[in-house]
Amino acid sequence: MDAKEHWFLQGFLVLAMVIAQGATSKCPSSPLCYKKTESATIYTCEWETSESMKNATYELFYSRSNSTESRTSLGSSRKSYICVQDNTVLNKALVDIWVVAYMGNCSCQSLNTTVTLSERVKYEAPQSMSMARSSSNLTLSWDNKNDAVIEVKFRRLEETSRTWTCSKPVLVCTAMVTLENLQNQSAYQLQVRQMSKHVKHPLWSDWTPILDVPTEIPNPPEVDWTVEDFNNGTRLLKLTWGTPPYPVSMQVNYNLSLHIWPCLLKRKNFTSVTTTEISVYVTYSAVSGDINAFNKVGKSSPTHILVPAKHLTFPSKSWPNDRLIPLNYAHGFMKSCLEWYKLTDGETRPEKVNRSKLNGTVEKKLKHIREKMDDYVRYYYLVHKQTDGKPHSTEMCLMYKKEGAPSKAPDHFTAPILNVTTNSAMLHWKPIPVPDQRGFLTHYEVCYTRRGPKNESHIETGKCHNSFASKTEYLVQKLTPGSIYDIHLAGATAAGSGPTTTIKIATKPLPQSIIGWIIAGIIVLIAILITGLIFIIFPPIPRPVVVESVNYRARNQNMYEKEEVHELQLHDNCSQEPNPEEDAVLEVSETHECEDTDEKCLGESSTPVSDLLSPDYKGPVLRLETPNSSQGEIDCMVTMLMYRNGLVFDMKAYSTEDVGIPL
């Protein structure tokens, strides 16, 4: 064979191999056969196929290796796997297995797989994976009863573009594995697969789907609640809570349990709540419950919820022997019940409460309840009922089986000295605890007595006042400055008053400036009183009455100004020879302006007195007549009143003795 023939033969062989590879590339891959567990009796044989062969029919064959026996069919299917029932030949012998694909008139055979099936086990991927994080460790667990070798690959959630970090295969006996040294505040993604350790040729299972691993929840939910009272025995309770921050908030749900219906001890559970709020109808009784948050890696500690009962804030009633209460109690424990308990501190519902169970008539039940109550102890009872599935309270009451006087005085006064003035003191005290009240407080009694000034030992009679039971302060007024007082305080119920608590206070003295003003006021008051007594004992001297002349009244009826007498002179009108020296002396000069412009003012020139007395004188002269004008005899004496403004009055007298008295 020459060189040309040799190269031609090699090219033909290469072309044949390429054609053969192209033909086999459309055929199924070699089958992979295995059992899913060591004890399984069914084998699964699977293979890979191309998209162009998806409508083909596949048939699985086997034959003993190194044997001339003919092939045996294990079944056919249009899927890419076939399940084979276990038998002795397949389980123990070394066999060749292959698959043939048929499409139309064409067929294609895969390559052979030589295997002992009992040595081939492929577990399923781990199922029902659960996680738990604690500090920097992550514990994974799943459902698997067989020992296996585990492999985990993981990465941080923030680094999804990076390659996976694979852990070393770990042999586990309890279907649990722990990853260590993770970052506490980081979320992760992971996948897990497993492999049997009991067979000679085990196979890895498939990887689980990608699992997100959130961080653990460090804090319990912070719950807020609001209650809307419809004033008909029903309240709407609304619970809200916050969402934890990312990445803790990844896939967080909540479990909530509430004791809503008081007639039963069983709670109502709300599981896997995805929202952050919930609303329910409740009675006037207390509502208790718990809530916790959970995600894939764990749950938070629970938050306890307690919504207090709607207690009365005012005294209600006692339970006398001749009356049975309540009135709205009905038969049927599921539809109506009576709840009653002690109020140890006046507000808090105790952990254990009493609920009625009907063993007979209602009257017998109520009598039995009253027998179990203690005297002087406050109780609270409620009657509950369900209407159309909505719970509500039909009656509520604070009560005492029997009341007594308080067994304890109010707690000590608080900082009274800071509120003491000269004449008042503001008192503050702590209320009497409910267990020591032994009844409904009606009022507080405040009594005080004065010991007098600090250097005296005299004690005055005390005064008492009542203060409201709801108040813990009282203003004592009208105290004496600079005095010591004993103040007594006691609580009172309908049965009487209890023990008293006492405190001493000292009012502040008056300042020195105030004392000086008080003394000055007393002195002024005494002076006024003395002056009044003098006027009463010594009456004022009466003033002489001057009768006005008729002519003067007629001419000066419009004058309003009072005139002051400047000079008084008497003249003898009977003398035949007037004294010219006296006439020359008597003159009137005007010193003030006239008020009336129509009258002639004096003062332009001096006027002798003789002219003034002349009958022809027309100036401002006022003649005053004596009271007895009817007498025929006219006295010769003339009295002249001379004013500073020029007015002159002349008077007639019966004798000179009448006018001789100086005014």
Task: Choose between 592 and 370: higher pLDDT.
Answer: 370
Task: Choose between 588 and 565: higher pLDDT.
Answer: 565
Confidence grade of residue 350 (pLDDT, cut at 50, 70, 90): confident
Instruction: Provide the pLDDT for residue 560.
Output: 45
Q: With 0-12 CB in 10 A as exposed, 13-18 as middle and 19+ as buried, what is 93? A: middle
The answer to whether position 557 is within a domain reads no
Residue 416 near residue 425 (C-beta atoms within 8 A): yes
pLDDT by residue (tens digit) across 53-109?
Answer: 878 999 999 888 887 778 888 888 988 888 887 765 566 778 889 999 998 888 899
Q: How far is CA 308 from CA 75, 101, 229, 242, 282, in A?
A: 72, 76, 13, 22, 11
Instruction: Provide the pLDDT for residue 167.
Output: 82
Task: Choose between 74 and 597: higher pLDDT.
Answer: 74
Indicate if 428 and 459 belong to the same structural domain. Answer: yes
E-assigned strand segments in 417-482? 425-428, 441-453, 463-468, 473-476
Above 80 in pLDDT, residue 527? yes
Residues 6+ apart with CB under 8 A from 311: 343, 346, 347, 380, 398
Rounded Cα distance between 422 and 414, Å, is 19
Percent of the chain with pLDDT over 90: 20
Confidence grade of residue 373 (pLDDT, cut at 50, 70, 90): confident
Indicate if 153 and 62 belong to the same structural domain. Answer: no
CATH (domain of 77): 2.60.40.10
State which residues form the domain around 347: 327-400
Above 70 in pLDDT, residue 558? no
Indicate if 138 and 93 belong to the same structural domain. Answer: no
The total of structural domains in the chain comes to: 4
Above 70 in pLDDT, residue 496? yes
Indicate if 390 and 425 belong to the same structural domain. Answer: no
Q: How far is CA 138 from CA 172, 189, 211, 217, in A?
A: 15, 12, 13, 14
Percent of the chain with pLDDT over 70: 68
Which helix (H) or strand (E) segment holds residue 513: the answer is helix 512-537
The answer to whether position 41 is within a domain reads yes
Last residue of a domain, one of 400, 419, 453: 400
Confidence grade of residue 204 (pLDDT, cut at 50, 70, 90): very high
Task: Find the Cα–Cα–Cα–Cα dihedral 440, 443, 444, 449, rounded to 10°.
Answer: -140
Q: Please identify which residue in the block is written with the tokens 């492929």.
A: 122
The answer to whether position 162 is within a domain reads yes
The average pLDDT across 220-228 equals 94
Last residue of a domain, one of 102, 122, 142: 122
The answer to whether position 289 is within a domain reads no
Indicate if 180 and 108 belong to the same structural domain. Answer: no
pLDDT by residue (tens digit) across 237-290?
Answer: 999 998 888 777 778 999 999 998 888 888 999 999 999 999 999 999 989 999
CATH (domain of 383): 2.60.40
Beta-bridge mates of residue 96: 63, 114
pLDDT by residue (tens digit) across 303-339?
Answer: 999 998 887 766 555 555 545 455 555 555 456 788 8
Q: Write down the mean pLDDT value for the chain.
A: 75
Which helix (H) or strand (E) segment holds residue 580: the answer is helix 580-585
Confidence grade of residue 14 (pLDDT, cut at 50, 70, 90): very low
| Residue 188 CB coordination number (10 Å) | 24
Structure tokens at 89: 């030949």
| Residue 239 CB coordination number (10 Å) | 23
The answer to whether position 555 is within a domain reads no
Above 90 in pLDDT, residue 641? no
The answer to whether position 234 is within a domain reads no
The answer to whether position 469 is within a domain reads yes
pLDDT by residue (tens digit) across 542-554?
Answer: 665 555 555 555 5
Indicate if 101 and 135 belong to the same structural domain. Answer: no
Indicate if 27 and 117 belong to the same structural domain. Answer: yes
The average pLDDT across 37-43 equals 80
pLDDT by residue (tens digit) across 154-185?
Answer: 998 888 777 888 888 887 777 888 888 888 88
Query: pTM of this prediction?
Result: 0.56
> Strands of 277-282's sheet, edge to edge?
223-229, 235-241, 277-282
Last residue of a domain, one of 72, 99, 122: 122
Confidence grade of residue 534 (pLDDT, cut at 50, 70, 90): confident
Confidence grade of residue 390 (pLDDT, cut at 50, 70, 90): confident
Confidence grade of residue 362 (pLDDT, cut at 50, 70, 90): low
The answer to whether position 524 is within a domain reads no
Instruction: Provide the pLDDT for residue 631.
Output: 45
